[in-house]
Every structure is written in structure tokens, then in C-alpha cells.
Amino acid sequence: MICSGVTLATGIILTLFIAPEYMNAVILPYGQALLIKHLLFLPLLLFGFVSGFLLKKRVKAQPDFSPVFWLRAESVFVLGIFAATGYMGQLEPPHDVATSLQMTNTSPLFTLLYQGQMIGNPDLSLTVTPIGLLLTVVTILFGSLILFSYVRKMSTLFSVGMGLLQAISGYFALMMSIQ
């Protein structure tokens, strides 16, 4: 828990220094990778909760139970976070988005999903939209299904799928709410 807290705190501090215009940075490939990295951290926290608390109780109650599959499932999200971090390491950090846009193209993924017009220096913000709100609820449901699948002793593959769907629906919820 301490390591997760320290990681979360340092991540927030680094984000504030590297991408002070976080919302506008999603226009750039670096910002997209940072957003995806942050969204993959959400299911990782849920898997960490299962591993750190629930699995510990189950192993004490059932000594023959092996938590290996849950740890492997958790590592899928760690690998995704490392991949996003590695990709970000190859890109120029967006300290100033307007300047970065002069040297770099917008992210193809952002261009595909953004519903507004890009003119000059961007000033994006999050707004509540019906589709964004619906996708936020779906994101929360997928996160809940990770915990539900553990309680119901379902396949860890199902839990990984729910975690990936949580990150994907969270991504679309945010992208559909940007104006």
C-alpha cells in the first residue's frame, strides 16, 4: 500500500511538471500515452486490492489455493503501463502544448475521436455529456466486475478482460467528454 501510494504521489507530481497542460496534452501522442497509462493504473489498483487483501485471506483459509493466476493477471496491467511508459520515453514531453504542436502532429487517435475543431492553440476541457456519463458508468461497472469475478471464483482471464474493458471504456468516456 505504501509503494502504491508513493507511486501515485510521484506520478501526480511528475505529471504536473512534465505535462502541466494535461488536458491539452491529450492532443499529442505523448499525452495519449500518458492518459492510457493512467487508465491502466485503475484496474491495476483493483487487482492490487484483490492481491493484497482478499487473496491473503483466501490463502490463510485455503492453504492449497494458489494465487499465481491472480498475480499473472495483475502483471498484464503492469506490462501495459511499462509499454506506455516506454513509448512515452521515445517522445518529446509536452511542457508547452502550443510549442509541441508546431514540432509534432496531433495524435491520430485523438484526431479520430475528437468531435470539435482544432484551431490554433487548444484550450480543451472536460464537460458532462450523455455518452461520456454513460461510459463512465460502464467503466465503474467493469471495475466492479473485477471484484465480483474474484468473489464468485470466476476465471482470472475474465477479470483481465474486465480490467481491459474498464480502461478502454474509461478512455472513451474521457475522449467523448473533451470539448
Could you read off the pLDDT of 40-77 as tens digits, one per residue?
999 999 999 998 889 888 899 998 888 899 999 999 99
> What does the DSSP assignment read for 111-142?
HHH--S---SS----B---HHHHHHHHHHHHH
Q: What contacts 61, CB < 8 A, 6 or more positions away?
A: none
The mean per-residue pLDDT over the stretch 135-152 comes to 96
- Tell me which residue range forms the domain holding 53: 2-175
Q: How crowded is residue 137: how many other Cβ atoms within 10 Å of its Cβ?
A: 12
Angle between helices 130-151 and 29-49 (to 10 degrees): 30
What is the rounded CA–CA span in Å between residue 134 and residue 82?
29
- Does residue 176 have a pLDDT over 70? yes
pLDDT tens for 5-21 read: 898 899 889 989 989 99
Tell me the three cell numbers of residue 68.
499465481
pTM exceeds 0.95 for this model: no
Cβ-contact 124, 178 below 8 angstroms: yes
Of the candidates 140, 148, 149, the residue with the CA atom closest to the CA atom of residue 167: 140
**Total domain count, the chain:** 1
The string of pLDDT tens digits covering residues 29-41 is 999 999 999 999 9
Task: Please give the pLDDT value at position 120.
Answer: 66
Dist CA 141 CA 148 (whole Å): 10
pLDDT band at 159 (very low <50, low <70, confident <90, very high): very high
In this structure, which amino acid lies at residue 38?
H
